[in-house]
Structure 1
Amino acid sequence: MDTTIKKQHHYYHHPPKHINTPLGHMLSLINVPTASNVQFLILDCPTESTLSLYLDEFINYNVSTVVRCCQPTYNSQKLISRGISVVDLPFKDGGIPPDNVIHDWLRIFQNASNTTIAVHCVAGLGRAPVLVAIALIELGMAPLDAIQFIRVKRRGSFNNAQITFLDGYKRRKQTQNQYSFRTSFGRMFGFGPKTVFQQT
Protein backbone atom coordinates (compact mmCIF):
# COMPACT_ATOMS: atom_id res chain seq x y z
CA MET A 1 0.00 0.00 0.00
CA ASP A 2 1.52 3.34 -0.97
CA THR A 3 2.08 6.16 1.53
CA THR A 4 -0.78 8.29 0.21
CA ILE A 5 -3.29 5.51 0.72
CA LYS A 6 -1.85 4.78 4.17
CA LYS A 7 -2.40 8.39 5.11
CA GLN A 8 -5.90 8.27 3.73
CA HIS A 9 -6.60 5.04 5.64
CA HIS A 10 -5.48 6.68 8.88
CA TYR A 11 -7.57 9.77 8.27
CA TYR A 12 -10.64 7.88 7.16
CA HIS A 13 -11.15 5.88 10.32
CA HIS A 14 -11.27 8.89 12.61
CA PRO A 15 -14.74 10.25 13.42
CA PRO A 16 -15.62 13.31 11.33
CA LYS A 17 -14.55 16.53 12.97
CA HIS A 18 -16.65 19.58 12.27
CA ILE A 19 -14.85 22.73 11.26
CA ASN A 20 -14.25 24.78 14.40
CA THR A 21 -16.15 27.94 13.45
CA PRO A 22 -19.44 29.58 14.42
CA LEU A 23 -20.99 27.66 11.50
CA GLY A 24 -19.75 24.32 12.86
CA HIS A 25 -21.48 21.32 11.29
CA MET A 26 -22.90 23.46 8.48
CA LEU A 27 -19.54 23.20 6.71
CA SER A 28 -17.93 19.95 5.54
CA LEU A 29 -14.48 20.02 3.95
CA ILE A 30 -13.88 17.21 1.45
CA ASN A 31 -10.24 16.83 0.51
CA VAL A 32 -8.74 14.13 -1.67
CA PRO A 33 -5.10 13.92 -2.87
CA THR A 34 -5.01 15.14 -6.48
CA ALA A 35 -2.44 16.67 -8.77
CA SER A 36 -4.39 19.94 -8.75
CA ASN A 37 -4.80 20.18 -4.95
CA VAL A 38 -8.49 21.03 -5.25
CA GLN A 39 -10.75 20.49 -2.26
CA PHE A 40 -14.49 20.92 -1.85
CA LEU A 41 -16.51 22.68 0.83
CA ILE A 42 -20.10 21.43 1.16
CA LEU A 43 -22.47 23.70 3.04
CA ASP A 44 -26.08 24.56 3.60
CA CYS A 45 -27.59 27.63 1.99
CA PRO A 46 -26.38 31.05 3.16
CA THR A 47 -28.89 33.87 3.52
CA GLU A 48 -28.44 37.62 3.43
CA SER A 49 -28.21 37.65 7.23
CA THR A 50 -25.62 34.84 7.45
CA LEU A 51 -23.59 35.52 4.31
CA SER A 52 -20.89 37.47 6.14
CA LEU A 53 -20.15 34.42 8.32
CA TYR A 54 -19.83 32.22 5.26
CA LEU A 55 -17.67 34.80 3.51
CA ASP A 56 -15.19 34.70 6.38
CA GLU A 57 -14.91 30.93 5.99
CA PHE A 58 -14.64 31.15 2.21
CA ILE A 59 -11.64 33.41 2.66
CA ASN A 60 -10.13 31.15 5.35
CA TYR A 61 -10.43 28.10 3.10
CA ASN A 62 -9.24 29.80 -0.08
CA VAL A 63 -12.57 29.43 -1.88
CA SER A 64 -12.37 30.75 -5.43
CA THR A 65 -15.80 29.62 -6.66
CA VAL A 66 -19.19 29.11 -5.04
CA VAL A 67 -21.60 26.82 -6.89
CA ARG A 68 -25.29 27.22 -6.07
CA CYS A 69 -27.48 24.17 -6.79
CA CYS A 70 -30.66 25.87 -5.57
CA GLN A 71 -32.44 29.13 -6.21
CA PRO A 72 -30.50 32.21 -5.01
CA THR A 73 -31.19 33.30 -1.44
CA TYR A 74 -28.55 36.04 -1.25
CA ASN A 75 -26.97 38.70 -3.41
CA SER A 76 -23.81 37.26 -4.95
CA GLN A 77 -22.21 40.69 -5.40
CA LYS A 78 -20.75 40.60 -1.89
CA LEU A 79 -18.77 37.48 -2.84
CA ILE A 80 -17.85 38.71 -6.30
CA SER A 81 -16.45 41.92 -4.83
CA ARG A 82 -14.05 39.77 -2.79
CA GLY A 83 -12.83 37.87 -5.86
CA ILE A 84 -15.07 34.81 -5.43
CA SER A 85 -16.97 33.64 -8.50
CA VAL A 86 -20.58 32.54 -8.07
CA VAL A 87 -21.99 29.99 -10.53
CA ASP A 88 -25.63 28.94 -10.59
CA LEU A 89 -26.19 25.26 -11.45
CA PRO A 90 -29.70 24.66 -10.09
CA PHE A 91 -31.55 21.38 -10.39
CA LYS A 92 -34.49 19.71 -8.68
CA ASP A 93 -34.38 19.25 -4.91
CA GLY A 94 -33.68 15.59 -4.17
CA GLY A 95 -32.99 14.96 -7.83
CA ILE A 96 -30.06 14.17 -10.08
CA PRO A 97 -28.22 16.74 -12.19
CA PRO A 98 -29.10 16.99 -15.89
CA ASP A 99 -26.36 16.70 -18.50
CA ASN A 100 -25.90 20.45 -18.90
CA VAL A 101 -25.29 20.86 -15.16
CA ILE A 102 -22.80 17.98 -15.14
CA HIS A 103 -21.00 19.46 -18.14
CA ASP A 104 -20.65 22.87 -16.50
CA TRP A 105 -19.64 21.32 -13.17
CA LEU A 106 -16.88 19.26 -14.79
CA ARG A 107 -15.55 22.36 -16.50
CA ILE A 108 -15.43 24.25 -13.21
CA PHE A 109 -13.54 21.70 -11.12
CA GLN A 110 -11.27 20.42 -13.89
CA ASN A 111 -10.03 23.95 -14.57
CA ALA A 112 -9.37 24.61 -10.88
CA SER A 113 -6.00 24.29 -9.17
CA ASN A 114 -4.73 24.94 -5.63
CA THR A 115 -8.10 26.16 -4.46
CA THR A 116 -11.36 25.24 -2.76
CA ILE A 117 -14.70 25.02 -4.52
CA ALA A 118 -17.70 25.63 -2.26
CA VAL A 119 -20.96 23.91 -3.23
CA HIS A 120 -24.34 24.36 -1.61
CA CYS A 121 -27.99 23.50 -2.05
CA VAL A 122 -30.57 24.17 0.68
CA ALA A 123 -29.53 21.72 3.40
CA GLY A 124 -26.27 20.56 1.82
CA LEU A 125 -27.33 16.91 1.94
CA GLY A 126 -28.44 16.11 -1.61
CA ARG A 127 -27.63 18.18 -4.65
CA ALA A 128 -24.32 19.62 -3.42
CA PRO A 129 -22.90 16.24 -2.28
CA VAL A 130 -23.97 14.70 -5.60
CA LEU A 131 -21.82 17.17 -7.54
CA VAL A 132 -18.87 16.58 -5.24
CA ALA A 133 -19.29 12.81 -5.61
CA ILE A 134 -19.23 13.21 -9.39
CA ALA A 135 -15.93 15.07 -9.04
CA LEU A 136 -14.47 12.28 -6.89
CA ILE A 137 -15.56 9.67 -9.43
CA GLU A 138 -13.99 11.70 -12.24
CA LEU A 139 -10.79 11.78 -10.19
CA GLY A 140 -10.72 7.99 -10.06
CA MET A 141 -12.72 6.96 -6.98
CA ALA A 142 -15.27 4.15 -7.28
CA PRO A 143 -18.86 5.48 -7.08
CA LEU A 144 -19.94 3.77 -3.86
CA ASP A 145 -16.63 4.64 -2.25
CA ALA A 146 -17.17 8.30 -3.17
CA ILE A 147 -20.59 8.20 -1.51
CA GLN A 148 -19.21 6.75 1.71
CA PHE A 149 -16.19 9.05 1.65
CA ILE A 150 -18.54 12.06 1.67
CA ARG A 151 -20.88 10.54 4.24
CA VAL A 152 -18.03 10.18 6.72
CA LYS A 153 -17.76 13.98 6.67
CA ARG A 154 -21.42 14.84 6.04
CA ARG A 155 -23.74 12.28 7.52
CA GLY A 156 -27.14 11.86 5.89
CA SER A 157 -26.01 12.88 2.44
CA PHE A 158 -27.78 11.38 -0.60
CA ASN A 159 -31.14 9.70 -1.07
CA ASN A 160 -31.64 6.35 -2.77
CA ALA A 161 -32.30 7.86 -6.19
CA GLN A 162 -29.05 9.83 -5.99
CA ILE A 163 -27.12 6.77 -4.85
CA THR A 164 -28.50 4.75 -7.76
CA PHE A 165 -27.52 7.52 -10.17
CA LEU A 166 -23.99 7.78 -8.79
CA ASP A 167 -23.53 4.01 -8.74
CA GLY A 168 -24.18 3.97 -12.48
CA TYR A 169 -22.22 7.12 -13.27
CA LYS A 170 -19.45 6.62 -15.83
CA ARG A 171 -16.39 8.82 -15.86
CA ARG A 172 -16.66 11.23 -18.77
CA LYS A 173 -13.24 12.81 -19.02
CA GLN A 174 -9.60 11.88 -18.67
CA THR A 175 -7.67 14.87 -17.40
CA GLN A 176 -4.22 15.64 -16.07
CA ASN A 177 -5.85 16.26 -12.67
CA GLN A 178 -7.05 12.68 -12.36
CA TYR A 179 -5.62 10.87 -9.36
CA SER A 180 -5.04 7.14 -9.64
CA PHE A 181 -6.39 5.33 -6.59
CA ARG A 182 -4.23 2.20 -6.56
CA THR A 183 -6.41 0.45 -4.01
CA SER A 184 -10.20 0.58 -3.97
CA PHE A 185 -11.54 2.32 -0.88
CA GLY A 186 -14.35 -0.23 -1.02
CA ARG A 187 -11.96 -3.15 -0.58
CA MET A 188 -10.00 -1.32 2.11
CA PHE A 189 -12.96 -0.35 4.26
CA GLY A 190 -15.58 -2.94 3.37
CA PHE A 191 -17.98 -0.50 1.74
CA GLY A 192 -20.66 -1.79 -0.57
CA PRO A 193 -24.20 -1.20 -1.81
CA LYS A 194 -25.81 -2.60 1.36
CA THR A 195 -23.76 -0.35 3.62
CA VAL A 196 -24.56 2.73 1.57
CA PHE A 197 -28.28 2.13 1.12
CA GLN A 198 -28.83 1.28 4.78
CA GLN A 199 -28.01 4.86 5.77
CA THR A 200 -30.80 6.46 3.74
Structure 2
Amino acid sequence: MSAYYTSSAAAGPRKPLGKSSPLANSFSLIEYDRDLRFLIMDCPTNNTIALYLKEFARLNVTDVVRVCEPTYLRERLETHGVRVHDLPFKDGDVPPASVLKQWLELVNERLCDAVSESAAQPVPKTIAVHCVAGLGRAPVLVAVALIEKGMDPLDSIEHVRHKRRGAFNNRQITYLADQYKRTAASKHAKVRASPLNSTASPHASASPAGSGSAVPAIAPKSFFRKMFGSSH
Protein backbone atom coordinates (compact mmCIF):
# COMPACT_ATOMS: atom_id res chain seq x y z
CA MET A 1 0.00 0.00 0.00
CA SER A 2 1.27 3.48 -0.83
CA ALA A 3 2.23 5.20 2.39
CA TYR A 4 1.17 8.77 2.07
CA TYR A 5 -2.00 10.80 1.96
CA THR A 6 -2.72 13.00 -1.04
CA SER A 7 -4.74 16.14 -0.57
CA SER A 8 -7.63 16.91 -2.86
CA ALA A 9 -5.62 19.73 -4.40
CA ALA A 10 -3.06 17.26 -5.66
CA ALA A 11 -5.48 14.59 -6.67
CA GLY A 12 -6.79 16.09 -9.89
CA PRO A 13 -10.38 16.96 -10.82
CA ARG A 14 -13.16 15.65 -8.67
CA LYS A 15 -16.83 15.15 -9.46
CA PRO A 16 -18.60 16.50 -6.38
CA LEU A 17 -21.85 15.32 -4.92
CA GLY A 18 -24.60 17.56 -6.22
CA LYS A 19 -25.94 19.90 -3.55
CA SER A 20 -29.39 19.38 -4.96
CA SER A 21 -29.21 15.68 -4.10
CA PRO A 22 -31.34 14.63 -1.10
CA LEU A 23 -28.26 12.69 0.03
CA ALA A 24 -25.90 15.68 0.01
CA ASN A 25 -25.89 15.87 3.81
CA SER A 26 -25.63 12.11 4.24
CA PHE A 27 -22.42 11.57 2.24
CA SER A 28 -18.87 12.41 3.33
CA LEU A 29 -16.10 11.99 0.74
CA ILE A 30 -12.61 11.26 2.09
CA GLU A 31 -9.67 11.58 -0.31
CA TYR A 32 -7.11 8.78 -0.26
CA ASP A 33 -5.01 9.29 -3.37
CA ARG A 34 -5.53 10.33 -6.99
CA ASP A 35 -7.08 6.97 -7.88
CA LEU A 36 -9.11 6.10 -4.78
CA ARG A 37 -11.34 7.72 -2.21
CA PHE A 38 -13.85 6.67 0.43
CA LEU A 39 -17.50 7.57 0.86
CA ILE A 40 -18.84 7.42 4.41
CA MET A 41 -22.61 7.35 4.51
CA ASP A 42 -25.66 6.32 6.49
CA CYS A 43 -27.57 3.12 5.87
CA PRO A 44 -29.70 2.71 2.73
CA THR A 45 -32.92 0.72 2.70
CA ASN A 46 -34.76 -1.03 -0.10
CA ASN A 47 -36.99 2.06 -0.32
CA THR A 48 -34.11 4.52 -0.68
CA ILE A 49 -31.51 2.45 -2.54
CA ALA A 50 -32.48 3.95 -5.92
CA LEU A 51 -31.33 7.38 -4.72
CA TYR A 52 -28.01 5.93 -3.55
CA LEU A 53 -27.45 4.14 -6.85
CA LYS A 54 -27.85 7.39 -8.73
CA GLU A 55 -25.12 9.03 -6.66
CA PHE A 56 -22.94 5.91 -6.78
CA ALA A 57 -22.87 6.27 -10.55
CA ARG A 58 -21.83 9.94 -10.26
CA LEU A 59 -19.10 9.16 -7.74
CA ASN A 60 -17.76 5.99 -9.42
CA VAL A 61 -18.56 3.77 -6.43
CA THR A 62 -17.17 0.31 -7.18
CA ASP A 63 -17.75 -1.29 -3.78
CA VAL A 64 -20.05 -0.90 -0.79
CA VAL A 65 -18.86 -2.19 2.58
CA ARG A 66 -21.60 -2.61 5.15
CA VAL A 67 -20.53 -3.15 8.74
CA CYS A 68 -24.06 -3.42 10.13
CA GLU A 69 -26.88 -5.89 9.55
CA PRO A 70 -28.26 -5.83 5.98
CA THR A 71 -31.16 -3.43 5.41
CA TYR A 72 -31.40 -3.83 1.63
CA LEU A 73 -30.93 -6.54 -0.96
CA ARG A 74 -27.35 -6.76 -2.18
CA GLU A 75 -28.67 -7.75 -5.63
CA ARG A 76 -30.02 -4.20 -6.04
CA LEU A 77 -26.41 -2.97 -6.12
CA GLU A 78 -24.73 -5.90 -7.81
CA THR A 79 -27.02 -5.65 -10.85
CA HIS A 80 -25.57 -2.14 -11.27
CA GLY A 81 -21.98 -3.37 -11.08
CA VAL A 82 -21.40 -2.40 -7.43
CA ARG A 83 -19.83 -5.12 -5.28
CA VAL A 84 -21.21 -5.56 -1.76
CA HIS A 85 -18.97 -6.70 1.10
CA ASP A 86 -20.42 -7.68 4.47
CA LEU A 87 -17.95 -6.96 7.30
CA PRO A 88 -20.24 -6.59 10.32
CA PHE A 89 -19.08 -5.92 13.86
CA LYS A 90 -20.73 -4.69 17.02
CA ASP A 91 -22.21 -1.20 17.13
CA GLY A 92 -19.95 1.23 19.02
CA ASP A 93 -17.07 -1.23 18.97
CA VAL A 94 -13.75 -1.41 17.14
CA PRO A 95 -13.13 -3.79 14.22
CA PRO A 96 -11.81 -7.28 14.98
CA ALA A 97 -8.71 -8.58 13.20
CA SER A 98 -10.73 -10.56 10.67
CA VAL A 99 -12.62 -7.44 9.56
CA LEU A 100 -9.43 -5.38 9.38
CA LYS A 101 -7.77 -8.01 7.22
CA GLN A 102 -10.62 -8.10 4.71
CA TRP A 103 -10.94 -4.31 4.71
CA LEU A 104 -7.27 -3.67 3.98
CA GLU A 105 -7.23 -6.40 1.35
CA LEU A 106 -10.09 -4.63 -0.43
CA VAL A 107 -8.32 -1.26 -0.28
CA ASN A 108 -5.12 -2.79 -1.66
CA GLU A 109 -7.03 -4.60 -4.39
CA ARG A 110 -8.68 -1.41 -5.61
CA LEU A 111 -5.34 0.41 -5.56
CA CYS A 112 -3.83 -2.38 -7.66
CA ASP A 113 -6.76 -2.16 -10.05
CA ALA A 114 -6.12 1.55 -10.51
CA VAL A 115 -2.41 1.01 -11.19
CA SER A 116 -3.12 -1.70 -13.74
CA GLU A 117 -5.48 0.52 -15.73
CA SER A 118 -3.73 2.17 -18.62
CA ALA A 119 -5.52 5.54 -18.48
CA ALA A 120 -6.36 7.58 -15.41
CA GLN A 121 -10.07 7.73 -14.72
CA PRO A 122 -11.67 11.20 -14.72
CA VAL A 123 -13.36 10.24 -11.45
CA PRO A 124 -11.38 8.08 -8.97
CA LYS A 125 -12.70 4.76 -7.77
CA THR A 126 -14.72 5.13 -4.59
CA ILE A 127 -15.28 2.60 -1.83
CA ALA A 128 -18.47 3.40 0.08
CA VAL A 129 -18.67 2.35 3.72
CA HIS A 130 -21.67 2.49 5.99
CA CYS A 131 -22.92 1.39 9.37
CA VAL A 132 -26.32 2.65 10.55
CA ALA A 133 -25.70 6.39 10.92
CA GLY A 134 -22.19 6.45 9.46
CA LEU A 135 -20.72 7.89 12.67
CA GLY A 136 -18.84 5.02 14.31
CA ARG A 137 -17.92 1.78 12.66
CA ALA A 138 -17.66 3.09 9.10
CA PRO A 139 -15.45 6.10 9.97
CA VAL A 140 -13.15 3.82 12.00
CA LEU A 141 -12.39 1.69 8.93
CA VAL A 142 -11.64 4.79 6.85
CA ALA A 143 -9.35 6.19 9.57
CA VAL A 144 -7.51 2.85 9.69
CA ALA A 145 -6.89 3.08 5.94
CA LEU A 146 -5.50 6.60 6.35
CA ILE A 147 -3.22 5.46 9.18
CA GLU A 148 -1.99 2.58 7.03
CA LYS A 149 -1.18 5.10 4.32
CA GLY A 150 1.10 6.97 6.70
CA MET A 151 -1.14 9.59 8.29
CA ASP A 152 -0.61 10.31 11.97
CA PRO A 153 -3.40 8.59 13.94
CA LEU A 154 -4.64 11.77 15.57
CA ASP A 155 -4.55 13.59 12.25
CA SER A 156 -6.68 10.82 10.75
CA ILE A 157 -9.22 11.25 13.56
CA GLU A 158 -9.36 15.01 13.09
CA HIS A 159 -9.55 14.75 9.32
CA VAL A 160 -12.42 12.26 9.29
CA ARG A 161 -14.18 14.19 12.06
CA HIS A 162 -13.84 17.38 10.01
CA LYS A 163 -15.52 15.66 7.07
CA ARG A 164 -18.01 13.70 9.19
CA ARG A 165 -19.15 15.74 12.17
CA GLY A 166 -19.82 13.59 15.23
CA ALA A 167 -17.76 10.62 14.05
CA PHE A 168 -16.22 8.22 16.62
CA ASN A 169 -16.96 7.51 20.25
CA ASN A 170 -14.37 7.57 23.05
CA ARG A 171 -13.45 3.92 22.70
CA GLN A 172 -12.90 4.25 18.96
CA ILE A 173 -10.78 7.37 19.42
CA THR A 174 -8.59 5.61 21.99
CA TYR A 175 -8.27 2.59 19.70
CA LEU A 176 -7.15 4.67 16.73
CA ALA A 177 -4.89 7.00 18.70
CA ASP A 178 -3.12 4.50 20.94
CA GLN A 179 -3.95 0.89 20.18
CA TYR A 180 -4.06 0.38 16.42
CA LYS A 181 -0.70 -0.57 14.94
CA ARG A 182 0.20 -0.26 11.30
CA THR A 183 0.87 -3.49 9.45
CA ALA A 184 4.44 -4.54 8.77
CA ALA A 185 4.11 -3.62 5.09
CA SER A 186 3.14 -0.07 5.97
CA LYS A 187 5.86 0.30 8.58
CA HIS A 188 8.56 -0.43 6.02
CA ALA A 189 7.05 1.77 3.32
CA LYS A 190 8.52 5.19 2.61
CA VAL A 191 6.21 7.69 4.31
CA ARG A 192 5.78 11.10 2.76
CA ALA A 193 4.50 14.00 4.83
CA SER A 194 0.85 14.86 4.38
CA PRO A 195 -0.73 18.33 4.58
CA LEU A 196 -2.11 17.29 7.97
CA ASN A 197 1.09 15.94 9.51
CA SER A 198 3.90 17.83 7.78
CA THR A 199 4.71 19.43 11.12
CA ALA A 200 4.85 17.80 14.52
CA SER A 201 1.38 17.15 15.84
CA PRO A 202 0.70 18.73 19.23
CA HIS A 203 -0.96 15.46 20.24
CA ALA A 204 1.62 13.12 18.71
CA SER A 205 2.98 11.55 21.87
CA ALA A 206 0.74 9.15 23.74
CA SER A 207 0.91 7.31 27.02
CA PRO A 208 -1.38 5.28 29.27
CA ALA A 209 -3.42 7.23 31.73
CA GLY A 210 -4.86 5.46 34.71
CA SER A 211 -6.46 2.01 35.16
CA GLY A 212 -5.69 0.58 31.74
CA SER A 213 -7.37 3.32 29.69
CA ALA A 214 -4.88 4.59 27.14
CA VAL A 215 -5.39 8.17 25.94
CA PRO A 216 -3.17 10.77 24.23
CA ALA A 217 -0.60 12.36 26.53
CA ILE A 218 -2.73 15.29 27.58
CA ALA A 219 -5.58 15.33 30.06
CA PRO A 220 -8.41 13.20 28.60
CA LYS A 221 -11.18 15.74 29.16
CA SER A 222 -9.21 18.59 27.64
CA PHE A 223 -8.19 16.33 24.74
CA PHE A 224 -11.78 15.51 23.79
CA ARG A 225 -12.94 19.08 24.42
CA LYS A 226 -10.15 20.51 22.26
CA MET A 227 -10.68 18.09 19.39
CA PHE A 228 -14.41 17.59 19.40
CA GLY A 229 -15.98 20.28 21.53
CA SER A 230 -16.96 17.98 24.41
CA SER A 231 -15.59 15.24 26.62
CA HIS A 232 -18.22 12.77 25.32
1:180 alignment partner in structure 2: 191
Alpha-carbon contact 2:8-2:31 (below 8 Å) kept: no
Which of residues 134, 141, 155 is equivalent to 2:151? 141
Shift of 1:22: 1.5
Instruction: Answer with 1 or 2: which has the greater Rg.
Output: 2
2:71 alignment partner in structure 1: 73
Give matches, 1:7-86, under 5 Å.
7=9, 20=19, 21-33=21-33, 37-86=35-84
Shift of 1:30: 0.4
Alpha-carbon contact 1:125-1:157 (below 8 Å) kept: yes
- Give structure 1 stretches of 5+ with no counterpart: 9-16
| C-alpha distance 56-43 of structure 1, shift in aligned 2 (>3 A) | same
Q: Distance in 2 between matches of 1:19 and 1:158?
A: 26
Structure (1/2) with the larger helix percentage: 1
Q: Give yes or no for the alignment of 1:151 onto 2:161.
A: yes
Shift of 1:185: 2.1
Q: Give yes or no for the alignment of 1:196 onto 2:206.
A: no
Q: For 1:143-186, what per-residue CA distance to the aligned partner results, in whole angstroms no more than 9, with x for missing partners?
A: 110011111110000001000111121111426xx783325725
Q: TM-score, normalised by structure 1?
A: 0.83
| C-alpha distance 78-160 of structure 1, shift in aligned 2 (>3 A) | same
| C-alpha distance 6-171 of structure 1, shift in aligned 2 (>3 A) | same
Q: What letter is aligned with 1:131?
A: L
1:165 alignment partner in structure 2: 175
Aligned residues: 185
CA RMSD of aligned residues (A): 2.5
Q: What letter is aligned with 2:191?
A: S
Q: TM-score, normalised by structure 2?
A: 0.72
Q: For 1:19-73, what per-residue CA distance to the aligned partner results, in whole angstroms no more than 9, with x for missing partners?
A: 5222121000001336xx2100000000111000001111111111100000000
1:117 alignment partner in structure 2: 127
- Give structure 2 stretches of 5+ with no counterpart: 1-5, 11-15, 115-124, 204-215, 217-222
Alpha-carbon contact 2:46-2:71 (below 8 Å) kept: yes
Q: What letter is aligned with 1:166?
A: L
Q: What letter is aligned with 2:162?
A: V
Alpha-carbon contact 1:18-1:28 (below 8 Å) kept: no
Q: Distance in 1 between matches of 2:47 and 2:105?
A: 31
Secondary structure of the 2:128 match is: strand
Alpha-carbon contact 2:67-2:88 (below 8 Å) kept: yes
Q: What letter is aligned with 2:105?
A: R
